[in-house]
Each structure stands twice: as structure tokens, then as C-alpha cells.
Amino acid sequence: MITFANAKINIGLQVLQRRDDGYHDLETVFYPVKIYDVLEVVEAKSVRFISSGLLIPGDCQDNLCLKAYRLLKTAYDLPPVEIYLHKTIPIGAGLGGGSADAAFLLKLLNTMFALGMGEAELMNFARRLGSDCAFFIRNTPVLATGIGDVFQSVQLDLSSYHIVLVKPDVHISTATAYGTVMPNPTGRQLASALSLPIAEWHHAVFNDFEAGVFARHPGIGALKDLLYRSGAVYAAMSGSGSSVYGLFEDKPVLSGLNPAYEVFYIDNSDLQW
């Protein structure tokens, strides 16, 4: 069975406070975008994980796909499987690719082996694999709170915008980004800021990771400026970085872009939920 795991972008991200367990409470909007990894699972004699496409750092035995399979196997009698992952979603880019793979694999195994899990149970497994993993179970735009795993639906439709996403040649570790961010417990009222016209988000919708990341990687801040100069109505870094997206009314021509950067012109207009 095959499934396609999509990425997300964050629209606004406020880090409110560091908790006793070391994690941070936050407020952000997760918005699905059409950049996909391909996942295939087939029954086999023994469990194997095989990946192609982008090289995934770390030991493949630690891949979130295998973690998702093993976690589910603690509760359900799953046969051995081979998991094939074709990796396209940029890694260490704030696009949630690893979490997306894990969540879509849980959904695939649920369907393939008729496990009968509902959304709530799938989300509970997903939460144990990554803070933003549960979002990909329902995969609809949400305002997320808690550690990124408590959701409220939002009426946000960006289908009329061209979303241009640029991935600099920088890998950012989420844990390192959280280690250097300055929490602000009062927040900045993300939900009400998002109700403003998008042309006003520039002054109202902020990603708290940007300051620290732009200080360490000035090229990423310069990239956001370039997107605005190219006509973006709104531009921001996604999550803990390093990718930066712009919302455009017309498809832009980006000039002066570092050739080492990867550009995605995303047609999100027909994304259904």
C-alpha cells in the first residue's frame, strides 16, 4: 500500500514558556502544504526500512517510520513489513517531514491491516513519536497549543495565494533552536493577529525562532527580505527553520537567489480538507 505524506508550514509561532520536562508551550498555526514524501509498505519475511531520495541524517534504525511501526506493534499484532520511503520533503527545514512520515505510516498501517483505530487513538500514538506528529493525522489547518499537540480548527484559506518556499543549504536542529529561543509567556495573540487581512500580518504575525536563527545564519534573514522585495504579501520562516516561505498574489520571479537554495512553487489551490 502506498501513501503520500505532506509537509506543513507554521504561520506564526510563539514560544510561551519552558516546561519542567524541558519542552516548551507554544502557539502556532500548522498549515498543510503540497510537498510530499512517498511511503510504501509491503508484507515481508522480516522488518526492513529502505529509503531513497534525500539522504536522511542519522542511523536508519532510528528513522521515525520504524519507530512508528514498532510503537504500533506494541499494541497490535502486526506482521513483518518492508517500509519504503522516498524522501523529498527537505530535512531540518521546519517542514515537519519526519513527523509527517510517522503519522502517515500510522494511518497506512491502520488501513492496511484493518486495525480499526479512530482519529483519537491514532493521535495518541502520534504524540508519542513527536510533538507536531499528531497534527498530520487530521492534516487540516489548526491553531496548535500545548507542546504543539492540542488543536483548535481555524478558518484559514490560503488557496488563492502562490506559496513559494525556499530551503537554504542549512540544516537546523529543532532541539538546538528551542535551546536558544527566548520564551515570552504573554504571547502575542496569534489567533486575533491572524484575523487581520494578510497584508497586515507583516506587523502582527511573528515566528519567535527567527531572531536567534537569523542572528546565527544571516543568509536566512536576507532570504525573507528577498521574498518581500519580490512582492510577497507575507513572508516568514517555517517552524524552527531553515526554510522560508512567501505568500504571493501572483507567481513571482525571484532574482538574486543563492543558487544553492532549493525553491518550491507550491500549488496548494486544490488541497482538500
Ligand X SMILES: Nc1ncnc2c1ncn2[C@@H]1O[C@H](COP(=O)(O)OP(=O)(O)O)[C@@H](O)[C@H]1O
What residues line the site for ligand X (CB under 6 A)? 56-58, 63-65, 85, 91-99, 101, 174, 240
How far apart are the C-alpha atoms of 98 and 23, rounded to whole Å? 18
- Indicate if 34 belongs to the active site: no
Cβ(97)–Cβ(91) below 8 Å = yes
How far apart are the C-alpha atoms of 130 and 16, rounded to whole Å? 19
- 118 is known to lie in a ligand binding site: no
26 contact, one of ligand SUD, ligand X, none, CB 5-8 Å limit per kind:
ligand SUD
How far apart are the C-alpha atoms of 79 and 253, rounded to whole Å? 50
Assign 252 to helix, strand or coil.
coil
Strands 24-43 and 2-18: antiparallel
Q: Which residues inside 21-40 make contact with ligand SUD, applying CB under 6 A?
A: 22-24, 26, 28
In the bound complex, what is the minimum distance in angstroms from residue 60's beta carbon to ligand X?
9
In the bound complex, what is the minimum distance in angstroms from residue 74's beta carbon to ligand X?
19
- All cell numbers assigned to 98: 519526519
- 92 is known to lie in a ligand binding site: yes
By residue count, the chain amounts to 273
Q: Which is nearer to ligand X, 84 or 191 (CB)?
A: 84
**Could you give the angle at which helices 97-112 and 64-73 cross, rounded to 10 degrees?**
40
Q: Is 207 in the site for ligand SUD (CB under 6 A)?
A: no
Q: Measured in whole angstroms, how far is the alpha carbon of residue 198 from the centre of its chain?
A: 21
Q: Is 96 in the site for ligand SUD (CB under 6 A)?
A: yes
- All cell numbers assigned to 114: 484493518
Site size toward ligand SUD (CB under 6 A) is 21
Q: Is 132 in the site for ligand SUD (CB under 6 A)?
A: yes
Cell 532570504 belongs to residue: 223
Q: Is 94 in the site for ligand SUD (CB under 6 A)?
A: yes
Candidates 125-133, 199-207, 213-221, 263-271 — which segment interacts with ligand SUD by CB under 6 A? 125-133
- Indicate if 169 belongs to the active site: no
Cβ(38)–Cβ(149) below 8 Å = no
Q: Is 131 in the site for ligand SUD (CB under 6 A)?
A: yes
From 37, 101, 132, 149, the catalytic residue? 132
Cβ(262)–Cβ(26) below 8 Å = no
Give catalytic residues, as residue numbers: 8, 132
Residue set of the binding site for ATP = 90-100
Binding site for ligand SUD (CB under 6 A): 10, 13, 22-24, 26, 28, 94, 96, 99, 130-133, 147-148, 174-175, 178, 239-240
